[in-house]
Structure 1
Amino acid sequence: MPRSFPIASIKGTAVRLHWTFVLVLALITLIVLISNGALAAAQVFLLVSLVFVCVVLHEFGHITVARQFGIETPEVILLPMGGLAKLQRIPSDPRQELAIAIAGPAVNFALFALLILFLGRWPDWGTLAGLAQGEINFVEQLAIFNLVVGLFNLLPAFPMDGGRIFRALLAFAMPHHKATRIAARVGQALAVVLGVVGLMAGNVVLAAIAVFVFLAATSEANLEKIRHAIGGTPVRNVMVTGQAQFLVTDHIGKAADAILASDNEEFPVLELDGRLAGFVLRADVLESIGDAGPEASICTIMRTDLPVVSLQHRAEKVAETIAGGAPIVGVIDSRGRFAGLVNWRNLLDALAIDEALRQQHRNRQTRFPL
């Protein structure tokens, strides 16, 4: 089963549904169908669909402002916990990050205001209790949803918009990497509080959100460490060059043989003249060889949505691209021929080496103080 599949494309941004979203939507609809009948199930299905239309609008609030700063967004993925807009890069300018982060909740608050005007009064929170019985009031419940999502996203914790707003505000007074470290720690502390409250209240959803927030804050902190550590390092210093390579004319069977002798997860696929055509994943090879057979063309499983940078680029640009959602980044030479690949693991290795060298330098200063 694919992780996500496209349902629309809006101004160059693909809107994709994660398979878990489809599963949750189907389960909710089935439960309501069994307990309250077909009409209630249809209404709940429509309500959930409208909720995620609001989520898409939230994400396109970010995307629209990001485009004003020259930052494109290849795709938006809809997950059970919300949407994820994969920006090509995270701006280091705090003014840009602040504007992009605010845009999402602003959309929710604008939708809330419009729905309130249409409703003609403040929403009754008691209508939420009727959802369990299949009682739907679309305008009222959508208004409450947008208000809650807008406020929840203002929490100062990654990956919520509030975490990015908090970092942007801090970055006006300190370097970006220090602002990220502080914002990440605040996010982790908030996640711990949410987790404790969730466990004490027996709220599994809140506890799950807490775990997600904690991991996201940790990931953001690690990314900023990488960006700060590698700085102006040339991309050639962090790329991998020793992996097996395939031609577009090769078969899946050849790829299957090659992965047995390697622990790499990604493999480049080249045109006959050496230009990079795409890449294949180990998981895709193992999954497809039983279905399509070893004689099937490798092009049938090749992925072509591969960001590419030249050898002259800095590694920081690659880190930003991977942070935006790209699993790997291809590196080409001045003639457009394949030179290497960079993935998240390479960047973590670069960070580990940098931290080890910094520790060695600190140890030397301690032993031989000036």
Structure 2
Amino acid sequence: MPRSIPVATLRGTVIRFHWTFVLFISAALVAALLTSGPAASGTLLALITAMFLCIILHEFGHITAARLFGIPTPEIMLLPIGGLAKLRRIPLEPKEELAIAVAGPLVSFVLFAGLILILGRQPDWEAIPTFNQDQFNLVEQLAVFNLAVGLFNLIPAFPMDGGRILRAMLAVNLPRPRATWIAARIGQAIAILIAGLGLFAGNPILAVIGVFIFFAAQSEARIDAMRNAIGGVSIGQVMVADRPRLKVSDPLLNAADLILHSDYEEIPVIEMDGALAGFLLRTDLDDAIVQFGPASTVRQAMQKDVPKMAVQSQADKAADMIEAGASAVGVIDRNGHFEGLVTKSTLLDALGVNSAMWPDHDALSHKPFEEQLKA
């Protein structure tokens, strides 16, 4: 099964189903069919479809706000725990991040208010978790769902909107790295409470959500520290230039041999004139061979819409792109020819050098990587 399935494109943003989302929906429908019959399964399908339409609207709240600040939004990924709008770059201005983060929950609260007006009464809170067929009301269920989504996303922990709202508010008076560090630690403390509550209450889903939030907060802090460590240097100083390359006309079997005999997660794919065409990801290889056949070319399997930066560009911009969801950033010269690439691991290497050279300070107070290179 592919990692994700594109299902629609809306206003230039691709909506994708992650494979875990497809698995989750399938399992839920089969369980409802076996335990309660076809009618219950159909009702559940209608409810899940409506819920995820609301999630898409929530994510388009973020997207609309991001576009007001000139930030492209290439895709939305739907996961079992909700949606994720991927931005081409992370907003660094507090007011921009605050506006984008608030927009999603605001949409959910507006949907809640509109559905309550349609319902014409307060929801029956006791009927919601039971999914009683005799008392089922789609409008009522959706109203409570949107209220829950809006409130849950205001929890001040990454990757929820509340974590970004907290960081934006702290960044008004603090340096962004310090604001991120504080917000991440608060988020991790909340994650521990959520996981502990899930274990105490015998709710494994809540425990898993707590663990997910904990590591997401940790990742957010590391990426921001990474950006701080490489501030001021060009991307050419942190890129990897000696990565093996594939041509667009190479057969997938050649690509399989190259990837399987290395530990690389992404291989740059080059046009015949030397221009960067895209990246072939290890995670896409098996699916591509099954879908297109081993004799097909790399062009058919590669990711074409990849971020590119000029070799003179600032490296922290690449960190923004990777934080926003890019697996790698291609580095090109003024003629568009491939020079190298930057991944999360290469940036973490820069952070590691920074930590090694300044062991007496934490990542938030390191001298910029540019000063290290001059030393």
Q: Could you say which TM-score interval applies, normalised by the shorter chain?
A: over 0.9
CA distance in 2, matches of 1:137, 1:205: 25
Structure 2 counterpart of 1:335: 335
CA distance in 1, matches of 2:324, 2:143: 30
Deviation digits for residues 150-179 of structure 1 (CA, Å, limit 9, x no counterpart):
111111101111111111111111111100
Checking the alignment, whether the CA contact within 8 Å between 1:130 and 1:136 is kept in structure 2 is no
Checking the alignment, whether the CA contact within 8 Å between 1:278 and 1:303 is kept in structure 2 is yes
Deviation digits for residues 133-163 of structure 1 (CA, Å, limit 9, x no counterpart):
5852101111111111111111110111111
Q: Which amino acid aligns with 1:153?
A: N
CA distance in 1, matches of 2:100, 2:197: 31
Deviation digits for residues 42-90 of structure 1 (CA, Å, limit 9, x no counterpart):
1110001100011000000010011000111100000010000001111
Structure 2 counterpart of 1:185: 185
Deviation digits for residues 84-125 of structure 1 (CA, Å, limit 9, x no counterpart):
000111111111111111111100110111111111111111
Task: Give how far 1:289 is off.
Answer: 5.1
2:359 is the alignment partner of 1:351 = no
**Secondary structure, counterpart of 2:78 in structure 1:** strand
2:213 is the alignment partner of 1:213 = yes
CA distance in 2, matches of 1:137, 1:87: 35
**Secondary structure, counterpart of 1:350 in structure 2:** helix
| Unaligned residue ranges in structure 2 (runs of 5+) | 363-375
After the TM superposition, which of the residue ranges 124-133 and 29-38 deviates more from structure 2? Answer: 124-133
CA distance in 2, matches of 1:256, 1:24: 30
Checking the alignment, whether the CA contact within 8 Å between 2:2 and 2:287 is kept in structure 1 is no
CA distance in 1, matches of 2:103, 2:67: 12
CA distance in 1, matches of 2:283, 2:272: 25
What aligned pairs does 1:68-107 form with structure 2 within 5 A after superposition? Answer: 68-107=68-107
**Secondary structure, counterpart of 2:83 in structure 1:** strand
Q: CA RMSD in A?
A: 1.8
CA distance in 1, matches of 2:356, 2:112: 50
Identity of aligned residues (%): 52
Task: Give how far 1:287 is off.
Answer: 5.6
Structure 2 counterpart of 1:23: 23
CA distance in 2, matches of 1:261, 1:43: 49
Task: Give how far 1:277 is off.
Answer: 1.2
- Which TM-score applies when normalising by structure 2? 0.92
Number of aligned residue pairs: give it. 362
1:141–1:285 CA distance, 2 compared to 1 (3 A): closer
Task: Give how far 1:238 is off.
Answer: 1.3
1:333–1:110 CA distance, 2 compared to 1 (3 A): same
CA distance in 2, matches of 1:286, 1:23: 19
- Which TM-score applies when normalising by structure 1? 0.93
What aligned pairs does 1:106-145 form with structure 2 within 5 A after superposition? Answer: 106-131=106-131, 135-145=135-145
What aligned pairs does 1:154-169 form with structure 2 within 5 A after superposition? Answer: 154-169=154-169
CA distance in 1, matches of 2:340, 2:47: 47
Structure 1 counterpart of 2:366: none
Structure 1 counterpart of 2:40: 40
CA distance in 2, matches of 1:242, 1:153: 42
Structure 2 counterpart of 1:315: 315
4+ residue stretches of structure 1 with deviation over 6 A? none
1:119–1:288 CA distance, 2 compared to 1 (3 A): closer
| Unaligned residue ranges in structure 1 (runs of 5+) | 363-370
Task: Give how far 1:285 is off.
Answer: 3.8
Structure 1 counterpart of 2:252: 252
Structure 1 counterpart of 2:204: 204
Checking the alignment, whether the CA contact within 8 Å between 1:6 and 1:15 is kept in structure 2 is yes
**Secondary structure, counterpart of 1:24 in structure 2:** helix
Structure 1 counterpart of 2:372: none
Task: Give how far 1:297 is off.
Answer: 1.9
